[in-house]
Amino acid sequence: MTPSDRAQLALLLEVAGEPKPGNVDRRRDVPGLRFEQFLAGAVGAREGLELAESGPVGDALETAVAGMADASGTNTQFGCLLLLTPLVRAACASDGDLAREDATAVVEATTVDDAAAFYRAFEHADVAVRDPPEGVDDLDVRRGADAVPAVRERGLALSDVMELSADRDANAREWVEGFPRVFRAAARVEAGDGPVADRAAEAFLALLAEAPDTLVATQHGEAVAEEVRERALDLQDADADRVREFAADLVDRGVNPGTTADLTAAALFVALERGVTVRA
Protein backbone atom coordinates (compact mmCIF):
# COMPACT_ATOMS: atom_id res chain seq x y z
CA MET A 1 0.00 0.00 0.00
CA THR A 2 1.10 3.56 -0.70
CA PRO A 3 0.67 6.52 1.67
CA SER A 4 -2.34 7.68 -0.36
CA ASP A 5 -3.85 4.19 -0.02
CA ARG A 6 -3.43 4.37 3.74
CA ALA A 7 -4.84 7.91 3.89
CA GLN A 8 -7.97 6.79 2.06
CA LEU A 9 -8.24 3.77 4.36
CA ALA A 10 -7.88 6.07 7.37
CA LEU A 11 -10.87 8.13 6.16
CA LEU A 12 -12.94 4.96 5.81
CA LEU A 13 -11.90 3.54 9.19
CA GLU A 14 -12.61 6.85 10.91
CA VAL A 15 -16.23 6.98 9.76
CA ALA A 16 -16.67 3.25 10.44
CA GLY A 17 -15.60 3.63 14.07
CA GLU A 18 -18.49 3.17 16.51
CA PRO A 19 -19.69 4.51 18.91
CA LYS A 20 -18.45 7.98 18.02
CA PRO A 21 -20.43 10.62 19.95
CA GLY A 22 -22.15 13.25 17.84
CA ASN A 23 -20.75 12.02 14.53
CA VAL A 24 -21.82 9.83 11.66
CA ASP A 25 -20.61 6.26 12.12
CA ARG A 26 -21.44 2.86 10.67
CA ARG A 27 -24.57 2.59 12.82
CA ARG A 28 -25.74 6.20 12.86
CA ASP A 29 -26.52 8.95 10.39
CA VAL A 30 -27.14 12.52 11.50
CA PRO A 31 -29.62 15.01 10.02
CA GLY A 32 -28.40 16.02 6.60
CA LEU A 33 -25.46 13.58 6.52
CA ARG A 34 -25.35 9.85 5.86
CA PHE A 35 -22.66 7.24 6.38
CA GLU A 36 -22.54 6.52 2.66
CA GLN A 37 -21.72 10.16 1.91
CA PHE A 38 -18.53 9.82 3.94
CA LEU A 39 -17.62 6.70 1.99
CA ALA A 40 -18.17 8.65 -1.23
CA GLY A 41 -16.12 11.57 0.11
CA ALA A 42 -13.19 9.26 0.82
CA VAL A 43 -13.37 7.92 -2.73
CA GLY A 44 -13.66 11.41 -4.20
CA ALA A 45 -10.62 12.64 -2.28
CA ARG A 46 -8.40 9.99 -3.83
CA GLU A 47 -6.86 12.12 -6.61
CA GLY A 48 -5.83 14.80 -4.14
CA LEU A 49 -4.33 12.27 -1.74
CA GLU A 50 -2.29 10.81 -4.59
CA LEU A 51 -1.13 14.31 -5.54
CA ALA A 52 0.00 14.85 -1.93
CA GLU A 53 2.64 12.15 -2.36
CA SER A 54 4.76 14.33 -4.63
CA GLY A 55 2.92 17.53 -5.59
CA PRO A 56 2.37 20.82 -3.77
CA VAL A 57 0.50 20.38 -0.48
CA GLY A 58 -1.91 23.22 -1.27
CA ASP A 59 -2.86 21.85 -4.67
CA ALA A 60 -3.28 18.40 -3.15
CA LEU A 61 -5.63 19.78 -0.52
CA GLU A 62 -7.71 21.74 -3.02
CA THR A 63 -7.94 18.75 -5.35
CA ALA A 64 -8.91 16.41 -2.50
CA VAL A 65 -11.57 18.80 -1.18
CA ALA A 66 -13.04 19.36 -4.64
CA GLY A 67 -13.22 15.62 -5.26
CA MET A 68 -14.71 14.97 -1.84
CA ALA A 69 -17.41 17.58 -2.30
CA ASP A 70 -18.24 16.43 -5.82
CA ALA A 71 -18.57 12.79 -4.77
CA SER A 72 -20.49 13.31 -1.52
CA GLY A 73 -22.47 16.43 -2.40
CA THR A 74 -21.34 18.21 0.75
CA ASN A 75 -18.46 18.77 3.16
CA THR A 76 -17.76 15.41 4.74
CA GLN A 77 -14.01 15.51 5.46
CA PHE A 78 -12.47 18.94 4.86
CA GLY A 79 -10.68 18.99 8.23
CA CYS A 80 -9.48 15.42 7.82
CA LEU A 81 -7.93 16.30 4.46
CA LEU A 82 -6.32 19.43 5.90
CA LEU A 83 -4.42 17.18 8.31
CA LEU A 84 -3.86 14.26 5.97
CA THR A 85 -2.30 16.05 3.00
CA PRO A 86 0.87 17.22 4.81
CA LEU A 87 1.10 13.87 6.60
CA VAL A 88 0.95 11.95 3.31
CA ARG A 89 3.72 14.14 1.94
CA ALA A 90 5.72 13.62 5.15
CA ALA A 91 5.30 9.86 4.90
CA CYS A 92 6.74 9.91 1.39
CA ALA A 93 9.72 11.95 2.56
CA SER A 94 10.40 9.95 5.73
CA ASP A 95 12.90 7.13 6.13
CA GLY A 96 10.08 4.64 6.67
CA ASP A 97 9.21 5.55 10.27
CA LEU A 98 6.92 8.58 10.06
CA ALA A 99 7.74 11.04 12.83
CA ARG A 100 6.58 14.47 13.92
CA GLU A 101 9.80 15.97 12.58
CA ASP A 102 8.89 14.78 9.10
CA ALA A 103 5.52 16.51 9.30
CA THR A 104 7.07 19.72 10.65
CA ALA A 105 9.50 19.81 7.75
CA VAL A 106 6.61 19.63 5.28
CA VAL A 107 4.74 22.44 7.05
CA GLU A 108 7.81 24.66 7.14
CA ALA A 109 8.33 24.15 3.40
CA THR A 110 4.86 25.38 2.41
CA THR A 111 4.62 28.39 0.12
CA VAL A 112 2.39 31.32 -0.79
CA ASP A 113 1.02 29.21 -3.63
CA ASP A 114 0.04 26.54 -1.10
CA ALA A 115 -1.78 29.20 0.92
CA ALA A 116 -3.61 30.41 -2.19
CA ALA A 117 -4.76 26.85 -2.95
CA PHE A 118 -5.92 26.48 0.65
CA TYR A 119 -8.19 29.50 0.24
CA ARG A 120 -9.48 28.23 -3.08
CA ALA A 121 -10.42 24.95 -1.38
CA PHE A 122 -13.12 26.86 0.51
CA GLU A 123 -14.83 27.51 -2.81
CA HIS A 124 -15.71 23.81 -2.97
CA ALA A 125 -17.18 23.16 0.49
CA ASP A 126 -19.13 24.93 3.20
CA VAL A 127 -16.87 24.89 6.26
CA ALA A 128 -17.86 26.16 9.70
CA VAL A 129 -15.16 28.57 10.91
CA ARG A 130 -14.81 31.35 13.44
CA ASP A 131 -14.39 35.00 12.60
CA PRO A 132 -10.78 35.87 11.71
CA PRO A 133 -8.48 37.50 14.27
CA GLU A 134 -8.73 41.27 14.59
CA GLY A 135 -6.94 43.14 11.83
CA VAL A 136 -6.96 40.40 9.21
CA ASP A 137 -10.51 40.49 7.87
CA ASP A 138 -9.06 40.38 4.37
CA LEU A 139 -7.72 36.90 5.20
CA ASP A 140 -11.08 35.46 6.26
CA VAL A 141 -11.16 31.95 4.74
CA ARG A 142 -14.86 32.41 4.02
CA ARG A 143 -13.81 34.82 1.27
CA GLY A 144 -12.31 31.86 -0.58
CA ALA A 145 -10.39 32.86 -3.71
CA ASP A 146 -11.22 36.53 -3.10
CA ALA A 147 -8.71 36.48 -0.23
CA VAL A 148 -5.82 35.27 -2.42
CA PRO A 149 -4.62 38.78 -3.43
CA ALA A 150 -4.26 39.68 0.26
CA VAL A 151 -2.38 36.43 0.90
CA ARG A 152 0.04 37.22 -1.92
CA GLU A 153 0.43 40.85 -0.91
CA ARG A 154 1.35 39.79 2.63
CA GLY A 155 3.61 36.99 1.37
CA LEU A 156 2.01 34.40 3.61
CA ALA A 157 2.93 30.74 3.27
CA LEU A 158 0.34 28.17 4.30
CA SER A 159 2.21 27.66 7.57
CA ASP A 160 1.78 31.39 8.28
CA VAL A 161 -1.95 31.18 7.60
CA MET A 162 -2.24 28.30 10.08
CA GLU A 163 -0.35 30.33 12.66
CA LEU A 164 -3.06 32.99 12.50
CA SER A 165 -5.71 30.51 13.68
CA ALA A 166 -3.67 28.24 15.93
CA ASP A 167 -5.03 29.71 19.16
CA ARG A 168 -8.64 29.00 18.18
CA ASP A 169 -8.58 26.00 15.86
CA ALA A 170 -7.25 22.57 16.85
CA ASN A 171 -6.35 21.53 13.32
CA ALA A 172 -4.34 24.69 12.68
CA ARG A 173 -2.64 24.17 16.04
CA GLU A 174 -1.59 20.68 14.95
CA TRP A 175 0.08 22.17 11.89
CA VAL A 176 1.91 24.77 13.95
CA GLU A 177 2.97 22.51 16.83
CA GLY A 178 4.04 19.42 14.88
CA PHE A 179 0.88 17.31 15.16
CA PRO A 180 1.30 16.36 18.86
CA ARG A 181 -2.26 15.19 19.49
CA VAL A 182 -2.34 13.24 16.23
CA PHE A 183 0.80 11.30 17.11
CA ARG A 184 -0.33 10.67 20.70
CA ALA A 185 -3.63 9.30 19.44
CA ALA A 186 -1.78 7.22 16.85
CA ALA A 187 0.28 5.66 19.62
CA ARG A 188 -2.97 4.76 21.38
CA VAL A 189 -4.25 3.06 18.23
CA GLU A 190 -0.95 1.23 17.83
CA ALA A 191 -1.05 0.00 21.43
CA GLY A 192 -4.64 -1.24 21.18
CA ASP A 193 -5.95 -4.52 19.90
CA GLY A 194 -9.02 -5.74 18.07
CA PRO A 195 -10.53 -4.28 14.91
CA VAL A 196 -8.92 -1.00 13.88
CA ALA A 197 -12.32 0.70 13.48
CA ASP A 198 -13.04 -0.09 17.14
CA ARG A 199 -9.68 1.34 18.14
CA ALA A 200 -10.61 4.43 16.13
CA ALA A 201 -13.74 4.90 18.25
CA GLU A 202 -11.66 4.54 21.43
CA ALA A 203 -9.13 7.07 20.16
CA PHE A 204 -11.96 9.46 19.27
CA LEU A 205 -13.39 9.35 22.80
CA ALA A 206 -9.93 9.87 24.31
CA LEU A 207 -9.28 12.87 22.06
CA LEU A 208 -12.70 14.31 22.90
CA ALA A 209 -11.89 14.02 26.61
CA GLU A 210 -8.50 15.64 26.14
CA ALA A 211 -9.57 19.11 24.98
CA PRO A 212 -12.72 20.98 23.94
CA ASP A 213 -13.66 20.33 20.31
CA THR A 214 -13.20 23.52 18.32
CA LEU A 215 -16.07 22.82 15.92
CA VAL A 216 -18.41 22.46 18.89
CA ALA A 217 -17.02 25.72 20.29
CA THR A 218 -17.55 27.45 16.93
CA GLN A 219 -21.13 26.26 16.55
CA HIS A 220 -22.35 26.17 20.17
CA GLY A 221 -19.90 28.13 22.32
CA GLU A 222 -17.06 27.37 24.70
CA ALA A 223 -19.31 26.25 27.56
CA VAL A 224 -20.94 23.51 25.49
CA ALA A 225 -17.55 22.38 24.19
CA GLU A 226 -16.25 22.07 27.74
CA GLU A 227 -19.39 20.20 28.85
CA VAL A 228 -18.90 17.70 26.02
CA ARG A 229 -15.25 17.26 26.97
CA GLU A 230 -16.13 16.60 30.62
CA ARG A 231 -18.78 14.05 29.68
CA ALA A 232 -16.30 12.27 27.41
CA LEU A 233 -13.78 12.24 30.26
CA ASP A 234 -16.36 10.62 32.55
CA LEU A 235 -16.94 7.91 29.94
CA GLN A 236 -13.34 6.77 29.62
CA ASP A 237 -13.39 2.96 30.02
CA ALA A 238 -17.21 2.96 30.07
CA ASP A 239 -19.09 0.23 28.24
CA ALA A 240 -20.23 0.86 24.68
CA ASP A 241 -23.90 1.23 25.62
CA ARG A 242 -23.17 4.24 27.84
CA VAL A 243 -21.09 5.84 25.09
CA ARG A 244 -23.94 5.22 22.63
CA GLU A 245 -26.33 7.03 24.98
CA PHE A 246 -23.95 9.99 24.95
CA ALA A 247 -23.74 9.77 21.15
CA ALA A 248 -27.52 9.79 20.81
CA ASP A 249 -27.83 12.80 23.10
CA LEU A 250 -25.30 14.83 21.10
CA VAL A 251 -27.03 13.97 17.82
CA ASP A 252 -30.41 14.96 19.30
CA ARG A 253 -28.90 18.32 20.30
CA GLY A 254 -27.16 18.83 16.97
CA VAL A 255 -23.74 18.86 18.61
CA ASN A 256 -21.03 17.52 16.29
CA PRO A 257 -17.44 17.17 17.59
CA GLY A 258 -16.16 17.16 14.02
CA THR A 259 -12.67 18.43 14.78
CA THR A 260 -12.13 15.37 16.96
CA ALA A 261 -13.07 13.21 13.97
CA ASP A 262 -10.45 15.05 11.89
CA LEU A 263 -7.76 14.31 14.45
CA THR A 264 -8.86 10.69 14.63
CA ALA A 265 -8.55 10.21 10.88
CA ALA A 266 -5.06 11.70 10.92
CA ALA A 267 -4.07 9.50 13.86
CA LEU A 268 -5.31 6.43 12.02
CA PHE A 269 -3.16 7.34 9.03
CA VAL A 270 -0.06 7.68 11.20
CA ALA A 271 -0.81 4.36 12.91
CA LEU A 272 -1.28 2.65 9.54
CA GLU A 273 1.99 4.15 8.28
CA ARG A 274 3.73 2.82 11.37
CA GLY A 275 2.56 -0.74 10.92
CA VAL A 276 -1.02 -1.11 12.16
CA THR A 277 -2.93 -3.35 9.78
CA VAL A 278 -6.52 -4.38 9.19
CA ARG A 279 -5.47 -7.92 8.42
CA ALA A 280 -6.72 -10.60 10.82
Mapped onto helix, strand or coil, the DSSP state of residue 238 is coil
State pTM to two decimals: 0.96
Contacts of 71 (CB under 8 A, 6+ apart): 40, 41, 43, 44, 45
Report pLDDT for 95: 77
Q: Are residues 224 and 256 in contact, defined by beta-carbon separation less than 8 angstroms?
A: no
Low-confidence ranges of the chain (pLDDT < 50): none
Domains of the chain, first to last: 3-273 (1.10.4200.10)
Report pLDDT for 279: 87
Report which residue type is found at 100: R
Q: Are residues 37 and 18 in contact, defined by beta-carbon separation less than 8 angstroms?
A: no
Q: State the CB neighbour count (10 A cutoff) for residue 97.
A: 10
Alpha carbons 143 and 226: distance in angstroms, whole number = 29
Q: Are residues 108 and 159 in contact, defined by beta-carbon separation less than 8 angstroms?
A: yes
Report pLDDT for 209: 97
Report pLDDT for 96: 77
Q: Is the dihedral of CA 74, 132, 155, 100 positive or negative?
A: negative
Q: CA 96: distance to chain centroid?
A: 23
Which runs of E-coded beta strand occur in the chain? none
Q: Are residues 261 and 267 in contact, defined by beta-carbon separation less than 8 angstroms?
A: no
Which runs of E-coded beta strand occur in 138-205? none
Report which residue type is found at 109: A
